[in-house]
């Protein structure tokens, strides 16, 4: 670990202790039962480890899974040179691991024997088998791994430190990327932390190089692009160029995640390629209240994280932060080219690339994107609006949800719509709550005419088109939620698209499959599909159902490959 990194890790963080070795919380790791242990023994081998022996180290990939037979192990994070922070001590019938056991990313913790210890060691492949075959054990282990990851994220430990201006677009981009991917990190605001400022000066970091990301291996990156960060953190480790995947799912929103869960659970070798982070548009929703089975609602982030774990449990592989930029027919399937140069082959492709936000057409608008102009209202953005006035633009459900969510912490929310009212564009339950909120004012017939500021948005002016009255609001936060455009640039000339760029499916009513595009073996689901209902439930439904149509196509392609090989 570099001196600078060590110094930084010693800075006062949100929950920093002065003790050399600090144990976290009071969480007691789960136990397997003796009967489960007997079954688990068929998946691995027991071995003795001496006191202080390291079973794995932070940053190592593909580490094994350990269950304590007798003795004690400690899971911890190295903090600086001399101290460590203990995540948990695991004794007899307790076990190691967290969510990275389900993929090929580097592990976030160290594991050492506190005393002479006997462990059951289980390799990765056997862990995958056990996840599929031993349902009660898999449930117990997965629950513990989810809790362990949530604790790491909550404690902002086990991962990386981001130092930058917390209101700057680049810092927010990096933070959004890490949050979306459920990666633990700690943000230190360089404006409010004197020691961090001194350290940045000592490292000769210019303002335009912020944020600086410090990794536990002692390395740093200055203002890294998401792809660079993803590569460093191993988010694309699952991608294998030599393999022929049965199914490539492009896009990791609700539709793509559902296709991955069904594809992998039905035995297809499934790769999901996602440009940013699992969750898509839904991942930016603070609360989805109309999705079946969640009477108190569920945050889009939680829905995405749960679906990701579910897909990985069934063996789906994830390649994160790589947009697919091209697709070519190749033999019995398709060759997909990814940003950054890699290519993969798949017999069938599900296009689930959804849509992205529309922008307002006012001067200087782009200058303030992510510098006060937001497209999502999650906890991250809400934290920057506490006690302040904010503007939300849009009359759909997403704008309504955002206004209500922000009204919980902002001083006042101005909701701007172009129309006369919300009735034709927003669900009744949201309209009622907006009307009841004394912290939200609805401005009808209104359009934003200018945005102003310096490095950050400082004010928004809008005009009532009926009265011509202009209204000026000193605000640093405007949420623009005015609909979306399909993510189909990469499909121009490859698939039939409608006049608005959405993918046309079932061109000839072929196969009775409504998701079939103009090319055999390529299907489109969710928001990207022309005529689809733009809702989470529909995206999930389409992603789930499409897989049943794909099996036959893949079987036919593989059969034709075998026949050609026999003839040759």
Ligand X SMILES: Cc1cc2nc3c(=O)[nH]c(=O)nc-3n(C[C@H](O)[C@H](O)[C@H](O)COP(=O)(O)OP(=O)(O)OC[C@H]3O[C@@H](n4cnc5c(N)ncnc54)[C@H](O)[C@@H]3O)c2cc1C
Q: Looking at 199-207, 281-289, 310-318, 456-464, which segment touches ligand X (CB under 6 A)?
A: 281-289
CB of 324 to ligand X, least distance (A): 4
**What is the distance between the alpha carbons of residues 416 and 410, in angstroms, rounded to a whole number?**
16
What lies within 8 Å, CB to CB, of 118 at 6+ separation is: 46, 47, 48, 49, 68, 69, 70, 71
Check residue 505 for interaction with ligand X (CB under 6 A): no
Cβ proximity to ligand X: between 55 and 327 the closer is 327
Q: Which stretch binds ligand X (CB under 6 A): 125-133, 235-243, 428-436, 521-529?
A: 521-529
Q: Is 299 in the site for ligand X (CB under 6 A)?
A: no
CB 67 within 8 A of CB 43: no
Q: What secondary structure letter does DSSP report for 388? A: S
- Taking the CA atoms of 231, 234, 238 and 241 in sequence, report the sign of the dihedral they define: positive
User: Which of 358, 418, 534, 549 touches ligand X by CB under 6 A?
Assistant: 534
Stretch near ligand X under the rule CB under 6 A, chosen from 113-121, 146-154, 160-168, 524-532:
524-532
238 binds ligand X (CB under 6 A): no
- Residue 276: CB minimum distance to ligand X, A: 4
Kindly report the number of other CB atoms within 10 A of residue 515's CB atom. 26
User: DSSP readout, 167-195?
Assistant: TSHHHHHHHHHHHHTT--EEEEETTT-HH
Shortest separation between residue 382's beta carbon and ligand X, angstroms: 13
At 236 the three-state DSSP class reads coil
CA–CA gap between residue 170 and residue 191 (Å, rounded) = 15
Nearest to 517 by CA among 491, 535, 538: 491
- Asked if 276 touches ligand X (CB under 6 A), the answer is yes
Nearer to ligand X (CB atom), residue 168 or residue 324: 324
Q: Residue 288 interacts with ligand X (CB under 6 A)?
A: yes
Please list, residue by residue across 171-184, b when 16 or more beta carbons sit within 10 angstroms of its beta carbon and e when fewer do: bbbbbbbbbbbbbb
Stretch that binds ligand X, among 113-121, 307-315, 454-462, 520-528 (CB under 6 A): 520-528
Give the residue with the Cβ less far from ligand X, 257 or 460.
257
The residues near 33 (Cβ < 8 Å, ≥ 6 apart) are 93
Q: Given the complex with ligand X, which of 433 and 534 has the nearer CB atom?
A: 534
Task: Give which of 398, 377, 390, 182 is closest to 278, Cα–Cα.
Answer: 182
Contacts with ligand X, 336-375, as mask; x by CB under 6 A: ----------------xxxx--------------------
By CB neighbour count within 10 A (0-12 exposed, 13-18 middle, 19+ buried), where does 545 fall?
middle
From 363-371, 396-404, 431-439, 502-510, give the range in contact with ligand X by CB under 6 A. 396-404
d(CA 46, CA 379): 45
Residue from the set 226, 305, 397, 530 that interacts with ligand X by CB under 6 A = 397
**Smallest separation, CB 227 to ligand X (Å):** 12
In total, the chain counts a number of residues equal to 568
Segment interacting with ligand X, rule: CB under 6 A, options 31-39, 189-197, 247-255, 455-463: 247-255
275 interacts with ligand X by CB under 6 A: yes
Least distance from C-beta 423 to ligand X, angstroms? 18
CB 215 within 8 A of CB 160: yes
The residue from 535, 549, 551, 558 that contacts ligand X (CB under 6 A) is: 535
Total interface residues for ligand X by CB under 6 A = 39
Among 71, 97, 182, 253, binds ligand X (CB under 6 A): 253
User: What single string gives the DSSP state of each residue in 423-451?
Assistant: TTTS-HHHHHHHHH-TTEEEETTEEEEEE
Stretch of residues binding ligand X (CB under 6 A), selected from 60-68, 192-200, 358-366, 525-533: 525-533
Site membership for ligand X, residue 400 (CB under 6 A): no
Identity of the residue, 193 or 538, whose beta carbon is nearer to ligand X in the bound complex? 538
Give yes or no for residue 180 binding ligand X (CB under 6 A). no
Instruction: Look at strands 343-351 and 333-338 and give their pairing.
Output: antiparallel
End-to-end CA distance of the chain: 57
Contacting residues toward ligand X, per CB under 6 A: 250-256, 273-276, 280-282, 284-285, 288-290, 323-324, 352-355, 376, 397-398, 401, 487, 490, 526-528, 534-537, 539
């Amino acid at each position: 670990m570099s001196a600078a990194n060590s110094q930084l890790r010693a800075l006062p963080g949100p929950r920093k202790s002065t003790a050399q070795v600090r144990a976290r919380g009071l969480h007691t790791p789960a136990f397997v039962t003796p009967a489960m242990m007997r079954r688990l023994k068929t998946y691995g081998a027991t071995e003795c480890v001496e006191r202080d022996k390291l079973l794995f180290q932070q940053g190592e990939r593909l580490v094994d899974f350990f269950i304590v037979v007798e003795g004690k192990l400690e899971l911890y994070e190295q903090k600086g040179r001399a101290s460590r922070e203990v995540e948990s001590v695991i004794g007899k019938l307790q076990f190691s691991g967290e969510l990275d056991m389900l993929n090929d990313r580097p592990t976030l913790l160290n594991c050492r024997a506190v005393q002479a210890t006997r462990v059951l060691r289980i390799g990765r492949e056997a862990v995958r088998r056990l996840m599929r075959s031993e349902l009660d054990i898999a449930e117990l282990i997965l629950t513990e791994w989810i809790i362990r990851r949530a604790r790491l994220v909550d404690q902002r430990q086990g991962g990386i430190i981001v130092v930058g201006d917390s209101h700057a677009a680049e810092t927010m981009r990096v933070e959004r990327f890490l949050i979306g991917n459920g990666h633990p990190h700690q943000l230190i605001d360089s404006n409010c932390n004197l020691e961090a400022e001194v350290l940045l000066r000592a490292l000769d970091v210019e303002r335009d190089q912020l944020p600086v990301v410090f990794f536990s291996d002692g390395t740093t990156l200055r203002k890294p692009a998401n792809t660079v960060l993803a590569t460093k953190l191993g988010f694309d480790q699952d991608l294998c160029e030599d393999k022929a995947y049965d199914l490539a799912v492009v896009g990791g929103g609700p539709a793509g995640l559902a296709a991955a869960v069904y594809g992998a659970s039905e035995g297809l070798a499934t790769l999901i390629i996602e440009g940013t982070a699992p969750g898509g548009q839904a991942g930016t929703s603070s609360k989805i209240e109309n999705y079946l089975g969640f009477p108190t609602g569920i945050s889009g982030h939680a829905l995405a994280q749960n679906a990701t774990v579910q897909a990985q449990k069934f063996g789906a592989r994830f390649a994160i932060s790589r947009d697919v930029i091209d697709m070519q027919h190749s033999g019995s399937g398709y060759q997909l080219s990814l940003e950054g140069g890699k290519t993969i082959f798949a017999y069938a492709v599900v296009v689930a690339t959804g849509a992205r936000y529309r922008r307002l057409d006012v001067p200087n608008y782009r200058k303030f994107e992510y510098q006060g102009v937001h497209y999502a209202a999650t906890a991250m953005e809400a934290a920057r609006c506490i006690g302040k006035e904010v503007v939300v633009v849009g009359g759909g459900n997403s704008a309504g949800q955002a206004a209500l969510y922000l009204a919980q912490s902002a001083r006042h929310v101005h909701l701007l719509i172009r129309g006369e009212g919300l009735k034709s564009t927003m669900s009744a339950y949201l309209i009622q709550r907006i009307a009841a909120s004394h912290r939200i004012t609805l401005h009808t017939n209104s359009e934003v005419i200018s945005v102003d500021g310096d490095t950050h948005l400082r004010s928004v002016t809008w005009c009532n088109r009926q009265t011509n009255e202009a209204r000026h609001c000193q605000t640093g936060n405007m949420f623009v939620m005015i609909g979306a455009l399909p993510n189909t640039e990469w499909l121009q000339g490859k698939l039939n698209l409608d006049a608005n760029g959405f993918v046309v499916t079932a061109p000839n009513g072929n196969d009775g499959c409504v998701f079939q595009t103009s090319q055999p073996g390529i299907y489109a689901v969710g928001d990207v599909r022309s005529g689809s209902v733009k809702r989470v439930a529909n995206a999930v439904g389409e992603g789930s159902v499409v897989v049943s149509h794909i099996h036959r196509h893949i079987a036919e392609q593989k059969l034709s490959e075998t026949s050609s090989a026999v003839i040759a």
